[in-house]
A and B are shown apart, each in its own frame.
Chain A
Amino acid sequence: MNDVLSPPAHHSDLAEVPLKPLGKVLAVTSGKGGVGKTFVSANLAAALAKRGHKVLVLDADLGLANLDVVLNLYPKITLHDVFTGKAKLEDAILPAPGGFSVLLAGSGMVEYSRLTSEVRSEFLRVMNTLVPNYDVVILDTGAGISDVVLFAVSLASEVLMVATPEPTSLTDAYATIKVLVGQQQRQTIRVIINQATRPGSGAAITNQLQQVLDRFVVAGLNQPIRLVHMGDIPLDPEVRQAIMRRQLMMQATPGCPAGVALGQIARNLEESVIPRPA
């Protein structure tokens, strides 16, 4: 390298520079894996569809997608074929059992688990094409805060953080919230507590997270950050049964406690984020 350097070409890391989020797009994320992101994405989509919304769930966990397992759908055409130009976008969209549409990543997406500029632009193209056609688009993101996850979240207008009451899940959720606040200047993050064992524990946990954030993160910022508790999904044996049978819980046993809770979360979203269907 010469001593007199030319300024490096501007080539921004999207994990660090967020894009303008798209409207009506909800990113379902969590710090830790295995807390029920995909379960929440699919069943919330079904709950919203039941209330009259036109919903699309997009498998944004490009590396390790398992929305296909939850929905028991194994399509021939996936997002992978769209990204590689082998299929048209409209052919990759499927009707899912809960009355919503779904766009699955496909197992071949492992090669896209790194956020390259092609993945970015393909993802953006797909989103720009799809978002106008739906009332709500739910992005089922991967766990953790990899650059693909952060990129997917940066496209969403709302973040739904799923956590369980376990310390590990809360720590990872908290660390993720810190990243989203720092890198994407998020001011509102919506919290869903899954596998709650006690009524009211979700609100208490959210309140706790808020207090820690206010004390350790907000103190150094000039804007407040608001965590909004959207509801609890109780620990419910029906959920496990539906997962083991590879059925959508909202279809198999919508009246079980977890199903009722998801219906309530859908109503809460209507009150705060999504306009009621006409």
Chain B
Amino acid sequence: MKSTLAPPSPSLIDLPDLQLDDARALLAHDARNGQPQHDESPTDYLQRVIDSLCELSLKDPLTGLGNRRHFHAALVRQIESVARSGESVLLLLLDIDHFKNINDTHGHLAGDQVLRAIGHCLARCVRPVDTVARYGGEEFAIILPNCRPLFGRTLAERIRQAVSDLCVQVSPLLNIQATISIGGAYAPEWVRSTPELWIERADTQLYRAKSNGRNQACIDQPQELSVSAEEKGLLYSHLAADEANPFEFGPGNVTNRVNA
């Protein structure tokens, strides 16, 4: 993001005059971000502050995962890509089971630790291209581009298993084990869906997983739309005939008949 142009003259950006205190306070968790480095131009410094603020605005502070804004932007990008490429993209919504009980029994700090541990566990379960976000409260969302329909259920099951195997140590004497319910839906291939409709379909599956007794994954399986190599081979077999016999339509031999 750094500009390749020469830095503007100091008169254009007067650092001491800028009200950067709030921005510095927001970035204070990272010492390098707060203050200008000695060899840094004012433009580079401001760019770094802006980049850091952008990053901050997309992150969930508790878990370090993407926040809802980040998730929404990623979802919209995927919808565009699916509409053009027909790629199969899976959306998972994951909700911690009986989270209210954890909070009520062990306190909110313990609840936060469980959220953080499960968030990290989810991030470990998926590929770097996947988007893991905290959707809100005790709910997470994962967007998995290029996820073949056959793998969706296996993958969701693997995530569910990883979370239920997790043992969160909230104090030397207390370990908490939590489970999650997962609902998943593929974006309809080649179709430009909307975030609302897609989330709603995943949410319907999450509701199914919850009402079936929790600690399970339900996936809305898409229609298999891809055209396999075998299908293609059979589809194109007329082309060989065309090659072998390439005479053209003459004015007298236009014949069309309903053949069924």
Give A residues with C-beta under 8 Å from B: 1-5, 7-8, 11, 13, 15-16, 113-116, 144-147, 150, 165, 167, 170-171, 174-175, 178-179, 182-183, 196-206, 208-209, 211-212, 215-216, 226-232, 234-236, 257, 260-261, 264-265, 268, 271-272
- Closest Cβ of chain B to A62, distance in Å, is 12
Bound: A27/B38 CA distance, A = 68
Interchain CB contact under 8 A, B254 and A198: no
Interchain CB contact under 8 A, B239 and A203: no
Interchain CB contact under 8 A, B236 and A170: yes
Of B12-20, B157-165, B225-233, which binds chain A? Answer: B225-233
Interchain CB contact under 8 A, B188 and A16: yes
Can you report 18 residue pairs joining A to B where beta carbons are below 8 Å apart?
Answer: A1-B137, A5-B206, A8-B200, A16-B188, A113-B192, A145-B190, A150-B191, A174-B227, A175-B190, A182-B225, A198-B242, A198-B246, A198-B248, A203-B259, A231-B257, A234-B249, A268-B256, A271-B258
Interchain CB contact under 8 A, B259 and A114: no
Bound: A143/B2 CA distance, A = 41
Q: Does B151 interact with chain A (Cβ within 8 Å)?
A: no
| Contact A146 to B259, CB < 8 A, known contacts A167-B236, A174-B227, A257-B254 | no
Q: Does B45 interact with chain A (Cβ within 8 Å)?
A: no
| Contact A144 to B190, CB < 8 A, known contacts A167-B239, A198-B246 | yes
Interchain CB contact under 8 A, A179 and B223: yes
| Contact A147 to B191, CB < 8 A, known contacts A257-B251, A268-B258 | yes
Interchain CB contact under 8 A, B253 and A199: yes
Interchain CB contact under 8 A, A167 and B200: no
Chain A residues within 8 Å of B138, by CB: 1, 3
Closest to A256 in B: B251
User: Total A-B residue pairs with C-beta atoms closer than 8 Å?
Assistant: 153
Bound: A164/B182 CA distance, A = 44
Closest to B253 in A: A199
Q: Does B234 interact with chain A (Cβ within 8 Å)?
A: yes
Q: Does B201 interact with chain A (Cβ within 8 Å)?
A: yes
Interchain CB contact under 8 A, B249 and A199: yes
Interchain CB contact under 8 A, B258 and A208: no
Question: Quick one: which of A114, A167, A260, A268 contacts B235, CB cutoff 8 A?
Answer: A167
Question: Quick one: which of A1, A15, A196, A260 contacts B139, CB cutoff 8 A?
Answer: A1
Interface residues on B, range: 35 or more
- Closest Cβ of chain A to B231, distance in Å, is 5
Bound: A174/B230 CA distance, A = 13
Chain B residues within 8 Å of A115, by CB: 192
Chain A residues within 8 Å of B206, by CB: 5
Chain A residues within 8 Å of B230, by CB: 216
Interchain CB contact under 8 A, B191 and A234: no
Interchain CB contact under 8 A, A146 and B192: yes
Q: Does B97 interact with chain A (Cβ within 8 Å)?
A: yes
Q: Does B237 interact with chain A (Cβ within 8 Å)?
A: yes
Interchain CB contact under 8 A, A230 and B254: no
Give 13 A-B pairs besides A3-B100, A178-B223, A227-B260 with Cβ atoms closer than 8 angstroms: A1-B95, A1-B136, A3-B97, A5-B95, A165-B238, A174-B235, A175-B190, A178-B225, A201-B242, A203-B259, A211-B234, A228-B259, A257-B251
Interchain CB contact under 8 A, A8 and B223: no
Bound: A201/B204 CA distance, A = 47
- Closest Cβ of chain B to A260, distance in Å, is 5
Interchain CB contact under 8 A, B193 and A147: yes
Counting from the closest, the 6 A-B pairs by CB-CB distance are A231-B256, A234-B249, A264-B256, A182-B223, A228-B260, A145-B190
| Contact A145 to B191, CB < 8 A, known contacts A174-B235, A208-B237, A228-B259 | yes
Chain A residues within 8 Å of B201, by CB: 13
Q: Does B245 interact with chain A (Cβ within 8 Å)?
A: yes
- Closest Cβ of chain A to B191, distance in Å, is 5
Interchain CB contact under 8 A, B258 and A147: no
Interchain CB contact under 8 A, B255 and A197: no
Q: Does B70 interact with chain A (Cβ within 8 Å)?
A: no
Chain B residues within 8 Å of A182, by CB: 223, 225
Interchain CB contact under 8 A, A208 and B260: no
Bound: A257/B236 CA distance, A = 26
Interchain CB contact under 8 A, A208 and B228: no
Chain A residues within 8 Å of B232, by CB: 167, 171
Question: Quick one: which of A178, A208, A226, A260 contacts B238, CB cutoff 8 A?
Answer: A208
Chain B residues within 8 Å of A1, by CB: 95, 135-139
Interchain CB contact under 8 A, A197 and B223: no
- Closest Cβ of chain B to A254, distance in Å, is 13
Interchain CB contact under 8 A, A170 and B235: yes
